[in-house]
Structure 1
């Protein structure tokens, strides 16, 4: 089980601070910005941890007084602490390369006709409402309306700490079974929509391509009469 480790986080923060203090740190603006963002994120987590630790000590001190009238106040503090600690524990789960960053969310209606397109729109509303409740910024980049109702597809940028780490669990096919409002006989229909989640990378992010994934075709045309026209060398 992965747990929140403040000591490891503090060591990581110290390493980032050392990198930020090195000569020529700002020579590479893109790398400096990434390191500064990571440092700020680690600092926020450690500050939250320290605040929770002090609140916990305060609650223990109140409980030690043994006065019955403080029970409700202590219970309220404990409830708040449990929620905050849950967020810290959630943060500890996001260890992937892009987990802490922003995300691109795509929704594509699948089989099911108008019901599938309506289902895609329902999913879009759900994700936008969830992002707002979570405090994430969201931007609708593209939306293709359905023929009768709903959406054929939509693309949303979701920006916020751990946006990709949280949303990546949503990728896959989502199914809806219901009595269709688009069927005059109100029969049960099954509709499918696909959700695609990808990390939203900065423009200057390095992109690594495995050479084994490349195919290079070379076309030649030369000589009188075009004897080499349409000849192909492939690699």
Structure 2
């Protein structure tokens, strides 16, 4: 099997061939949304392969120049050293991408944020996280949209769902799943005391009908209501928002809402995508927990088991899974998450399956 630096050329070429075959099928365009997704996946994987080819050529050229360089030519030596540093950075980034080998890592992602107990402080914290993830996605050059948002009682939000579309969006975003803890001097406390707030983040892959996820229509309750909050002008003039309740009144109940689209049909279609993603992620999480229990390493994702703490007055952000720290909370909250995500992906116990 041909590979370079951990990159599986054969697998990527096979994926491209399969996507090219699907794109050539005239019936694909009977479903424009699926067709657009296939073409986007094809473009991402082709660009990824071309990037590796270009990097391979750059490395070979630099190596040949270094072999021919005159050791007394200081300018050439400086130029080659600079080129090697730049190539090293590119290799590091592409090596991270080789770790995105999970079955659904190449898919778009839905990222859901829910505020924890703590009233207005926790709801404000949930909105801070929402902005952080929007900024992070934008910095990657990806498309991000707010699918649903529930405003807080006084400030902030109670919950929000983001749709993130970009190369390996789920593979990267899954590193953010868990409880996030904020410690700060509360702007909502007249005494300006220190408060601790929590919010939970869930990340699900977007999957199409080719993935076997059985949803019995009898297990689904569909409610429609008037949209409000996020969505733009004119979005709340009709009962276009949709709430799906899966297995209502049972321990397996899931509730998904969508009000971002202009029509009830579009909102229901998006809500079904989110529901399918949540059901799939629930099963993937069950499998991960089973593996951890076999090794005696399982910890429940309860409110007390936060994955990361953001302590603003101490100027410290710490990921408790990898021990990666930053002394610049404003930069992290402005979307600077790649260092934390890379450490997660490099850990074989965390990035498993």
Range into which the TM-score falls when normalised by the shorter chain: 0.7 to 0.9
Give CA-to-partner distance per residue, 1:41-77, whole Å, 9 cap, x none: 4432221111111111222233231321123322332
CA contact (8 A) 1:145 1:152 kept: yes
Provide the C-alpha distance between the structure 2 equivalents of 1:104 and 1:20, rounded to a whole number of angstroms: 25
Equivalent residue for 1:221? none
Equivalent residue for 1:158? 164
| Match 1:58 to one of 61, 75, 92 | 61
Look up the SS of the partner of 1:174 in the other structure.
Answer: strand
| Match 2:87 to one of 81, 87, 109 | 81
Give CA-to-partner distance per residue, 1:14-60, whole Å, 9 cap, x none: 5666x5699xx445557887766555444322211111111112222
Aligned length: 209
Provide the C-alpha distance between the structure 2 equivalents of 1:11 and 1:100, rounded to a whole number of angstroms: 14
CA contact (8 A) 1:26 1:32 kept: no
Equivalent residue for 1:179? 185
Higher relative contact order (CA 8 A, sep 6+): 1
CA contact (8 A) 2:100 2:106 kept: yes
Q: CA deviation at 1:206?
A: 4.4
Instruction: List structure 1 runs of 4+ shifted beyond 3 angstroms.
Output: 7-17, 19-22, 25-42, 204-207
Provide the C-alpha distance between the structure 2 equivalents of 1:94 and 1:201, rounded to a whole number of angstroms: 17
Which stretch shows the higher mean deviation, 141-150 or 189-198? 141-150
Specify every segment of 5 or more residues in structure 1 that has no aligned partner in the other structure, as ranges: 216-235
Specify every segment of 5 or more residues in structure 2 that has no aligned partner in the other structure, as ranges: 220-353
| Match 1:136 to one of 132, 136, 142 | 142
Taking structure 2 as the reference length, the TM-score comes to: 0.52
Provide the C-alpha distance between the structure 1 equivalents of 2:66 and 2:27, rounded to a whole number of angstroms: 54
Provide the C-alpha distance between the structure 2 equivalents of 1:86 and 1:127, rounded to a whole number of angstroms: 23
Q: CA deviation at 1:198?
A: 1.1
CA contact (8 A) 1:20 1:36 kept: no
The answer as to 2:214 corresponding to 1:209 is yes
| Structure with the greater alpha carbon radius of gyration | 1
The answer as to 2:115 corresponding to 1:109 is yes
Provide the C-alpha distance between the structure 1 equivalents of 2:187 and 2:16, rounded to a whole number of angstroms: 55
Provide the C-alpha distance between the structure 2 equivalents of 1:200 and 1:111, rounded to a whole number of angstroms: 29
Provide closer, same or farther for how the CA distance between residues 100 and 83 of structure 1 changes in structure 2, counting only shifts above 3 A: same
Look up the SS of the partner of 2:7 in the other structure.
Answer: coil
Look up the SS of the partner of 1:177 in the other structure.
Answer: strand
Answer 1 or 2: which has greater helix percent: 1
CA contact (8 A) 2:147 2:160 kept: yes
Provide the C-alpha distance between the structure 1 equivalents of 2:93 and 2:132, rounded to a whole number of angstroms: 21
Provide the C-alpha distance between the structure 1 equivalents of 2:59 and 2:181, rounded to a whole number of angstroms: 44
Look up the SS of the partner of 1:98 in the other structure.
Answer: coil
The Cα RMSD (Å) is 3.0
